Structure 1
Amino acid sequence: MTRFRGYRLHYTDLQAMESMCREADEFPAFFTPPSDDALFIDCGANIGVMMLECKRRWPQAKIVCFEPDPFAFAALQRNVDVNDLPGVRCIEAAVSDREGQATFYGALAATADGRGNSLNAGWAQRPGSTTQTVACRQLSKVIGDRQVDFLKLDIEGSEEAVLGEITDQLPQIQAIYVEVHETPATLAENSVEAITQQLNAAGFTVDAQQRAYEFALPPHLAQWQAAARPTQTQLLCWR
Structure 2
Amino acid sequence: MWLFRYLFTNLYRAIQTPNGRHLLWLFFRYAGRPRHQSGMIPFLHYRFQVPDALSFVWQFKEIFADESYRFQTDSAEPVILDCGANIGSSLAYFRQNYPKARIIAFEADPDIGAVLSQNLTSNRIEGIEVVNKAVWVNDEGIDFGSGEADSASLFSETNRRRVPSVRLRDYLLRELRVDMLKIDIEGAETDVLMDCHDALAHVRNLFIEYHAYIGHPQTLGAVVQILEENGFRYYIDSNQSRIRPFINHRYRGNDVMDLQLNIFAYRP
Alignment TM class, shorter chain as reference: 0.7 to 0.9
Aligned residue pairs total 219
Amino acid paired to 2:233: T
Q: 1:57 aligns with which of 97, 111, 119?
A: 97
Aligned pairs for 1:48-127 within 5 A: 48-107=88-147, 112-113=148-149, 115-119=150-154, 121=155, 124-125=156-157
Please identify the structure whose Cα radius of gyration is greater: 2
Q: Report what 2:204 is aligned to.
A: 174
Q: For structure 1, list consecutive stretches of 5 or more residues without a partner in the other structure.
A: 215-221
Asked which structure has the greater RCO (Cα within 8 Å, sep 6+), the reply is 1
> Does the 8 Å CA contact 2:237/2:261 hold for their aligned counterparts?
yes
> Does the 8 Å CA contact 1:99/1:137 hold for their aligned counterparts?
yes
Provide the aligned C-alpha RMSD in A: 2.2
Please tell me whether residue 211 in structure 1 is matched to residue 251 in structure 2.
no
Q: Report what 1:144 is aligned to.
A: 173
CA distance in 2, matches of 1:198, 1:75: 33
CA distance in 1, matches of 2:184, 2:254: 22
> Does the 8 Å CA contact 1:5/1:53 hold for their aligned counterparts?
no
1:65 CA displacement: 0.7
> Does the 8 Å CA contact 2:209/2:262 hold for their aligned counterparts?
yes
> Cα deviations across residues 63-96 of structure 1 (Å, max 9, x unaligned)?
1111111111011111221222332111110101
Amino acid paired to 1:166: C
Q: Report what 1:8 is aligned to.
A: 47
CA distance in 2, matches of 1:181, 1:226: 12
Q: Report what 1:219 is aligned to.
A: none
Q: Report what 1:164 is aligned to.
A: 194
- Over 3 Å counting, the alpha-carbon distance change for 1:134 and 1:232 in structure 2 is same
CA distance in 2, matches of 1:90, 1:193: 31
- Over 3 Å counting, the alpha-carbon distance change for 1:226 and 1:141 in structure 2 is closer
Q: Secondary structure of the residue that 2:170 maps to in structure 1?
A: helix
Q: Report what 1:17 is aligned to.
A: 56
Amino acid paired to 2:230: A
Normalized against structure 1, the TM-score is what?
A: 0.83
- Over 3 Å counting, the alpha-carbon distance change for 1:224 and 1:53 in structure 2 is closer
Instruction: Quote the sequence identity (%).
Output: 26
Please tell me whether residue 230 in structure 1 is matched to residue 262 in structure 2.
no
Please tell me whether residue 28 in structure 1 is matched to residue 62 in structure 2.
no
> Does the 8 Å CA contact 2:106/2:134 hold for their aligned counterparts?
yes
